[in-house]
Structure 1
Amino acid sequence: MRLLSLEQASARDWDVVIAGSSFSAMFFAHGLPDHLNILFVEKGQDYSHADQIAHGWAVREKIEQRNSSGAHKEWVAFTLFGGNSNYWWGNTPRLHPDDFILKSKFGIGEDWPITYDDLEPFWIQAEEMIEVCGGQSDHILPRSAPFPYPPHAPSRSDIALREDSPLWVPLPSATSNGGSRARCCANGVCRICPVDAKFTILNGFERLEHPGAHYLLGTEVRTVDIEGGQARAVQVKTADGAEARLRGNTIALGTNGIFNAAILLRSGIKNKALGAYLHEQGEVDIILDTAKIKAFYGGASETGHGYHFYHDIDRSEAGAVLIETVNAPVSIRREQGKWANRLHLRLTVDDIPMAENRVLLEDDEPVIEWVGYTDYAMRGLRRAIDGLPDIIPDTIEDLIVDEKIRTQAHIQGTHRMGPSAESSVVDDRLRLHGVPNLFVLGSGAFPTCSPANPSLTISALSLRASEVVT
């Protein structure tokens, strides 16, 4: 890694200046032509895997929030080299084709300006680089190539469920089951993987690094200078207060939906969608006790997906739900002879983004206004919970729902993509409307929600965006 001081970074012009160093930033840079000189500006420092295990959550951001929903809500972001890639859970499903056409198919939300087929070749690239393990090529979602590696071993409950319905499938995962990293230990402590089996920017750096890349750490991008419809430079500030102007022919913001929006707001960008439509999936945990089906012994912490309330489901009145089968950490029964007769399921629901959920600036810093999830999401969860007895091939002896809607740590929607500045912030290649050399990367560009985890799609969108830079 070629590290620079602030003085060295500001002494020259750059082909590309990129804010951030997580999925969106690094995959965007990877796709750029080799001859370009690139400067990454990262607010955090470079912590080794060992440092992260020792210090845990010490680099978590504190983001001010005004929450009027009546329910607890967290927004999770980490400031260090590699960002949230260091702390994600490693689930890598694709979005469903229906996620891209909610308006035209179901009359709700917005259509994306791209389709599933537009993104498919870039998902393939990202899956290869991340070394995703996922199994069969005839997955419910269309694929032009098989997963790079086989799925993790199913749990006993996965085996029973898959024998009953093809809508139960292996969960695509970035925790290794072959490839360059250690095999997953399946201990359920995935936030900081103890054996480094989960893909991160750190352990994937050798494959991801661009030959022209340089790095400025401990420095925050505050604003973008825009003149004559072109981004000319970024204004930056170090932790000790030093400031500088870094010039670039192309500028890319790859922090997250909260900080990308804050940078653009500070920069004087006027757009009614900027900062608005903040959203993420809702999640509830289900404990389901069965008469015969036994759980455990799967090869990863989460081993299966159920598409019963996501694939070919009516989404006009209620959200779609993706089911995850959880293998670890374990939850056991106390009845003699039935300690393993328990399924732990996680239900993840999409929602319709609302303009009232937003990021704004106060004293030049981002503040979240959160009014909560919509009834659309709640109806989706209720449909799935009520429908569980119909899709479990066993007698259910008890069903416990954790009513708390948990955070997914997915910051989405504050600079949504679309056809024009009338209703969106960026175009289909993630360029700010009216400023073609300013890219605003990441899941803040998602115009609608999906039950599927966003990290793989973030990476694919960045690879697609990088194609237009020469």
Structure 2
Amino acid sequence: MRRISLDQASSREWDVIIAGSSFSAMFFGYGLPPDLNILFVEKGVEYSHADQIENGWAVREAFNQRNSSGLKKNWIAFTLFGGNSNYWWGNVPRFHPDDFALNSKFGVGMDWPISYQDLEPFWERVEDIIEVAGGENEHILPRRKPLPYPPHTPSRADVALRASSPLWVPVSSATSNGGSRPNCCVNGVCRICPIDAKFTVLNGFEKLAHPRAHCLFGAEVRTLDIEGGRATGVHVKTADGADARLRGDIVALGTNGIFNAAILQRSGVRNEALGKYLHEQAVINVYADTANIKGFFGGTSETGHGYHFYHDIDRSTAAAALIETVNAPASIRRERGKWANRIHMRIAVEDMPLAENRVFLEEDEPVIEWTGYSDYAKRGVERVKAGLPDIIPDTIEHLEVSDILPSDAHIQGTHRMGLSADDSVVDDRLRLHSAQNVFVLGSGAFPTCSPANPSLTLSALALRASEVVG
């Protein structure tokens, strides 16, 4: 990818202009025909893995939020080349088939305009590119071929749990267990992986690079120019105050659900669902102190998934939940002889997106209005709390359950996909209903909230969207 200046970017016409450079933007660009001229517009700068290790985090966005929920709530996004791919945890489960049909199967939420089978070939391609390690869960999440690499070594707790139920399975991980990157060091400092074992846009760039792509750094897409139901380009501003209009035949927004919504709102896009239904999973931490089961010695930081509250359950009145078993960083007991007798679990509970949780503009900048998680999600949390003792095959000497954590670092909703502009913002290929040459990428397109981590699915959706660009 070649660097380009603002003057150079504004002096030519582009086949495709893409805002952002994280998962959705890069996988969309990767899937485009090789003869197209593509411009990535990235608000941040290049910040190498070595620089991150030496100097710490890049710029973290400070969002203006009005929180009436009574609980602390954070929305996390980083501005640099590769975006949040630099600081994710690397868990990449597929969504469950039921996630796509909540309304038709359980009478809640809305169905996605696509199915599990529609995404299957695109999940496969993304899993190959990011070298996913995992498997042994095909009885829950059907697949046509094995994952590229075997699962990480289970922790001692995982071994005991898997012996008790087929609903305990290895985690699907983008932290290496074979392939082009070094294997996981299992130190539990995964936000900035010290040995670069976790897939990022930076270390995966050679695989994702489009042959005719350029990148304009330090420039923010502020608005789209839309005339007669088509975008003709974008308006950008730089940190030093310069601005320009860039011309393009196709525009794709791959920032995040907050910024994508703000760009569309500034651009005069009118849609009843735009900016609404902001959501993410409600996450709790659980420590189960056990009489006999010991933890640790697994091959990566989070080694297992539990589908007891997700697979083949009734989701009509209470949310589903996905259990993650945590191997590192260490959490130990104080009792002599039992320091390792603890199962640490991180449990993600789906939310039911609410219209009142939204993004709107004030003085031309995005403001988040957050009223809290749905009662549906809270009932899901209570179902997990009540059911946990029944799925752990040991005497539980003490069970500690946290409140809902401030963030899962998953910004979802605000430009959801659907069949009609009456209740959605984009179609099944992520095209804006009111301007079909505008693609709005990322987890902002999710019409409902799976308990599973979003990165694999939002990448597959972007790859699928690129397929219709000729």
TM-score past 0.5 threshold: yes
Counterpart residue number, 2:16: 16
Counterpart residue number, 1:455: 455
* Contact map agreement 1:262 1:359 (CA 8 A) in 2: yes
Aligned positions of 1:157-236 closer than 5 A: 157-236=157-236
**Whole-angstrom CA distance in 2 between matches of 1:2 and 1:236:** 19
The secondary structure found in structure 2 opposite 1:192 is coil
* Contact map agreement 1:16 1:250 (CA 8 A) in 2: yes
Aligned positions of 1:13-92 closer than 5 A: 13-92=13-92
AA aligned to 1:20 is G
Q: In the TM superposition, what is the alpha-carbon distance from 1:136 to its structure 2 partner? A: 2.9
Change beyond 3 A, Cα 1:460–1:440: same
Aligned positions of 1:70-469 closer than 5 A: 70-136=70-136, 138-469=138-469
**Whole-angstrom CA distance in 2 between matches of 1:187 and 1:159:** 20
AA aligned to 1:22 is S
* Contact map agreement 2:282 2:404 (CA 8 A) in 1: no
AA aligned to 1:155 is S
AA aligned to 2:453 is N
Q: In the TM superposition, what is the alpha-carbon distance from 1:389 to its structure 2 partner? A: 1.0
* Contact map agreement 2:224 2:233 (CA 8 A) in 1: yes
**Whole-angstrom CA distance in 1 between matches of 2:58 and 2:200:** 18
**Whole-angstrom CA distance in 2 between matches of 1:261 and 1:53:** 32
Q: In the TM superposition, what is the alpha-carbon distance from 1:303 to its structure 2 partner? A: 0.2
CA deviations on 1:296-325 (whole Å, 9 max, x unpaired) are 000000000000000001000000010000
**Whole-angstrom CA distance in 1 between matches of 2:249 and 2:106:** 41
> What stretches of structure 1 move > 4 A for 4+ residues in a row?
none
**Whole-angstrom CA distance in 1 between matches of 2:274 and 2:457:** 21
Q: In the TM superposition, what is the alpha-carbon distance from 1:64 to its structure 2 partner? A: 0.6
TM (norm. structure 2) is 0.99
Deviates more, 1:326-335 or 1:424-433: 326-335
Q: In the TM superposition, what is the alpha-carbon distance from 1:52 to its structure 2 partner? A: 1.2
The secondary structure found in structure 2 opposite 1:160 is helix
Q: In the TM superposition, what is the alpha-carbon distance from 1:57 to its structure 2 partner? A: 2.6
Q: In the TM superposition, what is the alpha-carbon distance from 1:406 to its structure 2 partner? A: 3.5
**Whole-angstrom CA distance in 2 between matches of 1:191 and 1:56:** 10
Q: In the TM superposition, what is the alpha-carbon distance from 1:374 to its structure 2 partner? A: 1.1
* Contact map agreement 2:137 2:170 (CA 8 A) in 1: no
The secondary structure found in structure 2 opposite 1:294 is coil
* Contact map agreement 2:265 2:361 (CA 8 A) in 1: yes
* Contact map agreement 1:137 1:146 (CA 8 A) in 2: no
**Whole-angstrom CA distance in 2 between matches of 1:326 and 1:300:** 9
The secondary structure found in structure 2 opposite 1:423 is coil
**Whole-angstrom CA distance in 1 between matches of 2:182 and 2:84:** 20
CA deviations on 1:100-144 (whole Å, 9 max, x unpaired) are 000000000000000000001100000000100012373420101
Q: In the TM superposition, what is the alpha-carbon distance from 1:262 to its structure 2 partner? A: 0.4
CA deviations on 1:315-355 (whole Å, 9 max, x unpaired) are 00000010000000111111111111100011110011000
**Whole-angstrom CA distance in 1 between matches of 2:92 and 2:115:** 18
**Whole-angstrom CA distance in 2 between matches of 1:257 and 1:190:** 24
The secondary structure found in structure 2 opposite 1:280 is coil
Structure 2 unaligned residues grouped into runs of 5+: none
The secondary structure found in structure 1 opposite 2:423 is coil
CA deviations on 1:396-445 (whole Å, 9 max, x unpaired) are 11001112434111011100000111000000000000211000000000
Q: In the TM superposition, what is the alpha-carbon distance from 1:272 to its structure 2 partner? A: 1.0
* Contact map agreement 2:58 2:80 (CA 8 A) in 1: no
RMSD: 0.8
**Whole-angstrom CA distance in 1 between matches of 2:135 and 2:261:** 37
* Contact map agreement 2:221 2:236 (CA 8 A) in 1: yes
* Contact map agreement 2:137 2:169 (CA 8 A) in 1: no
The secondary structure found in structure 2 opposite 1:223 is strand
The secondary structure found in structure 2 opposite 1:71 is coil
AA aligned to 1:269 is V
AA aligned to 2:53 is I
* Contact map agreement 1:15 1:36 (CA 8 A) in 2: yes
* Contact map agreement 1:277 1:354 (CA 8 A) in 2: yes
The secondary structure found in structure 2 opposite 1:190 is coil
* Contact map agreement 1:16 1:38 (CA 8 A) in 2: yes
**Whole-angstrom CA distance in 1 between matches of 2:304 and 2:134:** 10
Structure 1 unaligned residues grouped into runs of 5+: none
* Contact map agreement 2:157 2:295 (CA 8 A) in 1: yes
Number of aligned residue pairs: 470
* Contact map agreement 1:27 1:463 (CA 8 A) in 2: yes
* Contact map agreement 2:303 2:326 (CA 8 A) in 1: yes
Q: In the TM superposition, what is the alpha-carbon distance from 1:29 to its structure 2 partner? A: 0.5
* Contact map agreement 1:136 1:147 (CA 8 A) in 2: no
AA aligned to 1:377 is A
